[in-house]
A and B are shown apart, each in its own frame.
Chain A
């Protein structure tokens, strides 16, 4: 479902990713490694936010380079921060993501919104939300469009204990049908999902 071969990325003269390779079937995977090693960059490149300098990325059978729209329609990405329009409300953002993915907001997302206790914040502008609320919104939006691959950057960061438990429950259920590929330093959270630990340095051909 998620495959990437020899993916490289540099910003100017700074090489961040060098020939990273991985193949992942449905399941949950916790990407681990020290700060600054390139985990977030890898997720951004896999999500198509940043274009890889080289290599091939395949999402559910669609090449991200050759068929970006089809590949992106099958993935969901929740960044560590909330880099969206600060002046749109939660409602508007969810509607926009649904429009982008060519679907309606599924009932499942409505239930996730309720479980996260997010419904009363949906009329608040993203810029006025707390870090945790922004995170919940990004995570709830990830379930729009039945993604085959979920790319989550530090998903448990900033969440309260209840929301963290809800997220662990949701991801544990999702791993049967999708690839849940996340970077996290939270070992207890990864264990709660039953995620296999992947050391960043091992993502090579050798």
Chain B
């Protein structure tokens, strides 16, 4: 999540022109990673202390160290954009996990730990050169007449679909997981109409998940104010367009849950009211998401909880 920050930000583009060896750069990256991972390392150290105090087998302690080393190796792979390192990390995790509790657990854990430590300290291999794509002749195209209202909505959509595509995809996967879990529970409850609150909760959770997109949108607009501030636009002109873009992304999931509520026999008016309430919740969560960077998650969760409780009180 914080790849750019850990990598050093724009300064590293300049530092790349200085005569540092790959080993020196890797050491600097590792030092920053260790500092950034200090909460994880504290937990690992505490767990190691507990293991030693209880007189657990050595394999347990080595496995704990493996987890920390594999986490560092995975983070370093992300930092260096080495997708090829991922199968190695995955294989190490699978091997250590599968061997745990068997007679080979100590040997397997030691092997994985040694491999992860080597990967961390060894000089990285130079990456294979990328194949240079053949330049395509570009057709010169005149500017379209423009001036249409869609131009503003296009900005919000472009933020989501181009700049923050990964975040949008992750949010959609989260929402899909929430919806699937809710449907699974409804099936487990044998489609009883009394499982309608589960669907309501899931809709609130979906709204909560999608509300996080408002922060990225807001940041992107603010970053462009050095130019857009000179245009004859209202302050925060982007608000309705951001709301429309995020609602459009969330509506399929909310609609799927509404359909689920319908199928279990919830009154159509109640199912639609729940949809409307959670669409409104999504819009309302924009404010707590933007009110404070540090407390956004807490404030938004509290707001979503209160809203969902209110929806329960009205519909049940």
Contacts and interface: CB of A to CB of B under 8 A. Distances in A.
B2 to A, nearest CB: 19
A95 B145 CA distance: 7
A119 B229 contact: no
A86 B164 CA distance: 12
Interface residues of B, number: 33
Given A85-B158, A105-B143, 17 more contacts: A44-B226, A49-B225, A71-B232, A72-B232, A76-B230, A91-B141, A91-B146, A92-B154, A95-B143, A95-B151, A97-B231, A99-B149, A100-B233, A102-B147, A105-B144, A110-B143, A125-B162
Contact of B224 (A47, A83, A91): A83
A130 to B, nearest CB: 14
A88 B155 contact: yes
Contacts of B146: 91, 94-96, 98-99, 104-105
Contact of A110 (B142, B162, B225): B142
A96 to B, nearest CB: 4
Contacts of B54: none
A188 B220 CA distance: 38
A185 B14 CA distance: 26
Contacts of B138: 120, 123
The residue among B143, B232, B233 with the most chain A CB atoms within 10 A of its own CB is B143
Contacts of B143: 90-91, 94-95, 105, 109-110, 113, 119, 122
A84 B163 contact: no
Contacts of A82: 227
Given A48-B229, A79-B227, A96 B152 contact: yes
30 contacts: A48-B229, A48-B230, A49-B225, A49-B227, A71-B232, A72-B230, A72-B232, A76-B230, A77-B227, A79-B226, A83-B225, A83-B227, A86-B163, A87-B163, A91-B141, A92-B158, A94-B143, A95-B143, A99-B146, A99-B148, A99-B152, A100-B232, A104-B146, A105-B145, A105-B147, A110-B143, A113-B143, A119-B143, A123-B138, A125-B162
Nearest to A138: B227
B314 interface: no
Given A73-B232, A79-B227, A85-B155, A103 B147 contact: yes
A27 B170 CA distance: 54
A69 interface: yes
A29 B142 CA distance: 31
A113 B144 CA distance: 12
B234 interface: yes
A95 B142 contact: no
Given A49-B230, A79-B227, A85 B145 contact: no
Nearest to A49: B229
A87 B141 contact: no
Top 4 closest A-B pairs, CB basis? A83-B226, A95-B146, A77-B230, A49-B229
B139 A120 contact: yes
A110 B145 CA distance: 9
Contacts of A94: 143, 146
A92 B150 CA distance: 10
Contacts of B223: 83, 85
Contacts of B230: 47-49, 72, 75-77, 151
B151 A98 contact: yes
Given A70-B232, A100-B231, A105-B146, A122 B141 contact: yes
A102 B147 CA distance: 6
